[in-house]
Structures are given as structure tokens and as C-alpha cells.
A and B are shown apart, each in its own frame.
Chain A
Amino acid sequence: MLKPLVDDLSETTVSRRRVLGSALFWASWGIVVVILGVIGGGVLRCLYPRALYEASKIFKVGSPESYKIGSVNLVTGRGVWIVREQEGFYAILAKCTHLGCQPIWYEDQQVFKCPCHGSRFHKDGVNFAGPAPRPLDRLYLSLSSDGRLEVDKGKTASLDYRLKA
């Protein structure tokens, strides 16, 4: 008996047309997903500028002699205090460790108070009241080649760091 030219299309056999058809279907969806992904990624990338027009993290804050021993000095516009003690200098980042407001130095009470939620810090930046969880950050302070103090906001220093000058 002759075999039929085309097999019966039973449930287990899949025609070439169906395979190609579904391949095309998923490939089309793949292309759509890729295009949307590229657009989405582009939009996300566009939120990150390549250059920032921000003040340099490294800046000079004058000569050591211009600071009195025992004084706390805010460098306006830079958000940094330069403190001079008998043992040397240190720089404190003027940014509350609670949620980032700028505390105010009260010379008469020798305390930093944050106006936002009332955190308080000793002169050395150590927190003692309010919601702030840790001491104010210390910044790296050095003496530049021209003999002036130089702060690097990108580098933190430990609490016992002192610059002798």
C-alpha cells in the first residue's frame, strides 16, 4: 500500500508553518521589548548629566594664623566649619547627620544646634541630643604648598584627626 504523501497532522506533530509563525510572533515581541528598553534606558540615562557645574570639593580656607585658638568658623557658601584648638585644626562638615540640614554654632553655649529637628552637637561634632544618630562628619584638612589650609570635602577624617600648623 502506498504511503500518503503528507502525514496526517496528528496532535503531536507541529507544522513548519506553525513553528515559523510562532517564531515570528515571539521575535516581533522581542523587537518591541528591545525598542522600549532602549527608549527607557535612554530616558533614564538622560537624567544623569555628564558634567556637573558644581563648586570644587577641594578649596582653600585662608592661612592658619587667621583663625583664633578655640574658635569655630563657618566658611560661608562651602558648608564647612574650621575649628582651631590648642592641639591643632580640624574641619567639620556643616551637615546634620540626621537629615542634612545645616546646624548653627552658638558661641555663648558652645554648642551646635540643628534648626530642623533639634539635634545638638558638642564643639567636636559629637551628638548629644535629638535624632542625629552619629557625630558630624570630619573632613580631611591639609596645608597646601602656599601655606594655606585646604579642605577636601570628598575625604572624611577620623574624630581624632588634627592638623598641626
Chain B
Amino acid sequence: MNIFIQMWRSLFRTGVTDSPVHRVFRVVVNFSLHLHPARVSKNGIKTTYTFCLGGLNVLFFVMTAITGGLLMIYYTPDVDKAYANMLDLENVIPFGTFLRNLHRVSAHAMVIAVSLHMLRVFLTASYKSPREFNWVIGVGLLLMTFLLSFTGYLLPWDQLSYWAVTVGTTMAENTPIVGAKGPFSVLGPEEDMRFILLGGTSIDQPTLIRFYFAHCVGLPGALVGLMALHFWRVRKAGGISRPL
């Protein structure tokens, strides 16, 4: 019997004694309760103030991360295999189509939610001091979200992918200064922004592997890092903004 009590105690360190001090203590030592602020202003939990849009972004991101991880099991970033993998996901793998659609719908939802979240922050003037820098971090999050959509689009390696990325990287080629054909260009066609993105001068295997890395490792990693900063800043600014 003792062993079960010991196991319980190792999981829930505070025991079951109920007193005001114990309640506070339990909140302080519990990880998930600790993530949530101990005190929240009334305004901050009003649904019609934040519309939970930031939280929805987190939800959609977690959804894309989980479904993306499962998709990775069946996907090979190889120009000879990628499209065949897509067909397998659609026709051979149980729930493969469902998985793809979940990933895709969550990604679209994230783009919509991030835009609406930005709009909400703007309309409630929550970008004002002391939250200016969190707006800047937010712009980073917005860019990462867009870049995730862009890089993910190439991975199925179908006609839509190929020409969408052709168009996108030709835009990069026309960027001022860092694009070979843009205004004030200083870099040649074999050293400009497009070249770095493509890993060459045409969309081919080097491009697929670069986009795959960015989509599955680089950008999600950066997004998680920025999100941590973002939430930290919300906390340190004293929680959600409120009418003065």
C-alpha cells in the first residue's frame, strides 16, 4: 500500500490538506497552473476583448505541428518520391487524406487567426507602451506564419507547388538590393536572394531540401522561440491590456 501512496506523493507533491495556505502553495508548485498567471484582470478574460485569437493561434500551431510530425513519417524530400508520397497519403495510408487536410486547414486557420489577432491588438490600441516591442515580435510571428505557408506549399512537388514557388522566388529576385533584378541590385544572379532560396538557379532537388528544412525545422523553431518571448512580454506588461 505504501508504494501507491509514495507514487501519488511523487506526482502531487502538496498532499491533500485543504487550507487557504495550501491552496496557494498548490498553485505555486504546479507546472500547468504556474503557466497560467495567478491573477488575471477581469477585462483580460472577457471573450469579446481578445476573442481568444492569440490562444487560437497557439491551438492551430499545435495542430499543424502534430499533424505535420505525422506527415513527416510518410514524406521524403526527394524530387522523385515526394509526389508519389502524396498519392500514397491520399490513397494507401489510413486517415492520410484526413491528416493532410487537418494540416492544411489548421495552417489556413492560423493565417486567418494571426491576421485577426493583429487587427484586435490594433483596434484595442494594445500596441501602445509598454507593449510596443511585443508588436514588433508579433510582426516576426506574422512573417514566420506566412513563410511556413510558403515553404510548405512546395513540398507536395506538384504543378501548383512548382509554379507557385516559381512566382514567389521570382519576386525574391526582384527585391531591392538583395535581388539580382531588383532596384539598386548589388548581387549577381548566382549570389542573390533567389539563389540562396533555390540553392541554385532553378527549382530542383536543392530547393526541395532547403524548403523542407525551413518548413519542418527552421521556421517552427523560430516561431516557438518568438512565441515564448511574446507570452513572456504579455506577462511582464502586466497581463492583457485594459482600458485606462
Contacts and interface: CB of A to CB of B under 8 A. Distances in A.
Interface string A33-48: 0000000000000011
A48 B170 contact: no
A101 interface: yes
B202 A54 contact: yes
B200 A52 contact: yes
Contact of A99 (B166, B191, B195, B199): B166
A49 B195 CA distance: 10
Interface residues of A, number: 12
A21 to B, nearest CB: 33
B105 interface: no
A54 B201 contact: yes
A99 B170 contact: yes
**Interface band, chain B:** 10 to 19
Given A47-B196, A48-B191, A48-B196, A116 B204 contact: no
A40 to B, nearest CB: 14
Contacts of A49: 199-200, 206
Nearest to B168: A99
Nearest to A154: B189
Interface string B156-192: 0000000100110111010000000000000000010
A74 to B, nearest CB: 16
22 contacts: A47-B196, A47-B199, A48-B195, A48-B196, A49-B199, A49-B206, A52-B200, A52-B201, A54-B200, A99-B166, A99-B167, A99-B171, A100-B166, A100-B169, A100-B170, A100-B173, A101-B163, A101-B166, A101-B167, A115-B163, A116-B163, A116-B166
Interface of B: 163, 166-167, 169-171, 173, 191, 195-196, 199-202, 204, 206
Interface of A: 47-49, 52-54, 99-102, 115-116
